[in-house]
Amino acid sequence: MKTTIAAFALLALAFAMPPAAGADGPANPNQRTIQVSGNGEADAPPDLAVLSLAIETQAPTAAAAAGRNGALAQKVTDALKAKLGDKGKISTGGYSLDPEYADQSRPNAKPAITGYRAANTITVQTGALDIVGPLIDAAIAAGANRVNSLDFNLRDDTAARNDAIAKAAKDAQAQAQALATALNLKLGPIVNATTVSNEGPRPVMFRAVAMSANAATPVSPGEVTVPATVSLTYQIE
C-alpha cells in the first residue's frame, strides 16, 4: 500500500525581472533569469499507527443509550489496555449523544423522537505495528462496532523530507537545463533557491472491519510518502 502525489512543474521565463533575493545578495534588476519549480517525494516505512474505533449504541431513552455505551466503552478500553500494555496510549477521540426521529417525509409530519444514539470514539497510538491487527480484533470482540480509520505515519520525517528536497532540487535543475536548451540560452549561476511549504507526510490509510469474531484482521503498513518542492532562479548569461 502506497500513497503517492502527482508531480507538477511551474516554469517561468522572465526578462528584466524585479530583484530576486538570493544567498549572494540581491540580483541585478536588469539581469535575465529563468525560474523553475521541481517536485520530489521520498518513501519511508512508518513507525507510528493511529487507530480510531467507535462504539455506537441505541436505546429508547438518552440515559439508557449513554449507559449502555459507557459500559461497552469501558470493556473495549480494558481489552485494548490488556493487549497494548506499555506500547502505546489510549484516549477518547470524541463522544456524542443524539436523538433519533421518526420518518418526517409525510406531509405535515411533526418531529417525533423515537430513541437516542450514543457514540464514543477511542483513539489508540502505538509504535508496535505488529499488534495493530490484534488490537482491532480485541476491540471488536469487546464491543466496538466500527473501525473509523487506521493511519500509519512517521514520528520524525526529517530524513525522508531531506531526501525529497534533494530529489526536488534535481528535478528543478533538469527542468531549467531543458528549458534553456529549448530556448537556446546558457544558464548562469543560481541567484535564488527556496523550498516551498508542502503538506506533511501523506499517511498510509487503512480501513478494516473484522468479518467475524473468529477472523483475524490482516494489516499491512506499506510506506509513507513525504513530498517536497524546490524553486530555483537561474541567471541567463
Contacts of 165 (CB under 8 A, 6+ apart): 40, 195, 228, 230
Residue 7's pLDDT is what? Answer: 36
Residue 12's pLDDT is what? Answer: 43
Q: Mark whether 52 and 32 lie in a shared domain.
A: no
Instruction: Specify if 205 maps to a domain.
Output: no
Q: Mark whether 63 and 117 lie in a shared domain.
A: yes
Residue 53's pLDDT is what? Answer: 96
Instruction: Specify if 60 maps to a domain.
Output: yes
CA dist., res. 195 & res. 40, Å (int): 11
DSSP assignment of 159-198 equals HHHHHHHHHHHHHHHHHHHHHHHHTT--EEEEEEEEEE--
Per DSSP, helices labelled H in the chain are 62-84, 132-142, 158-182
Cα 193 vs. chain centroid, distance in angstroms?
27
Residue 33's pLDDT is what? Answer: 93
Q: Mark whether 69 and 148 lie in a shared domain.
A: yes
Residue 8's pLDDT is what? Answer: 37
Give yes or no for a contact between 152 and 208, defined as CB atoms under 8 angstroms apart. Answer: no
pLDDT in tens, 171-230: 999 999 999 999 999 999 999 999 976 666 666 655 444 334 455 677 778 889 999 999
Q: Mark whether 55 and 127 lie in a shared domain.
A: yes
- The CB density around residue 19, as the number of other CB atoms within 10 Å, is 14
CATH number for 75: 3.30.70.2970
Q: Mark whether 69 and 149 lie in a shared domain.
A: yes
Q: Mark whether 69 and 146 lie in a shared domain.
A: yes
Q: Mark whether 138 and 92 lie in a shared domain.
A: yes
Q: Mark whether 145 and 167 lie in a shared domain.
A: no
CATH number for 163: 3.30.110
Would you tell me the crossing angle of helices 132-142 and 62-84 to the nearest 10 degrees?
150
- The CB density around residue 125, as the number of other CB atoms within 10 Å, is 16
Instruction: Specify if 208 maps to a domain.
Output: no
Domain count, the chain: 2
Q: Mark whether 52 and 142 lie in a shared domain.
A: yes
- Enter the C-alpha cell of residue 165: 528536497
Instruction: Specify if 2 maps to a domain.
Output: no
Range of the domain at 26: 10-44+159-198+226-236
What residues in the chain have per-residue pLDDT under 70? 1-30, 197-216
- Enter the C-alpha cell of residue 20: 530576486
Residue 105's pLDDT is what? Answer: 72
Residue 193's pLDDT is what? Answer: 95
Instruction: Specify if 78 maps to a domain.
Output: yes
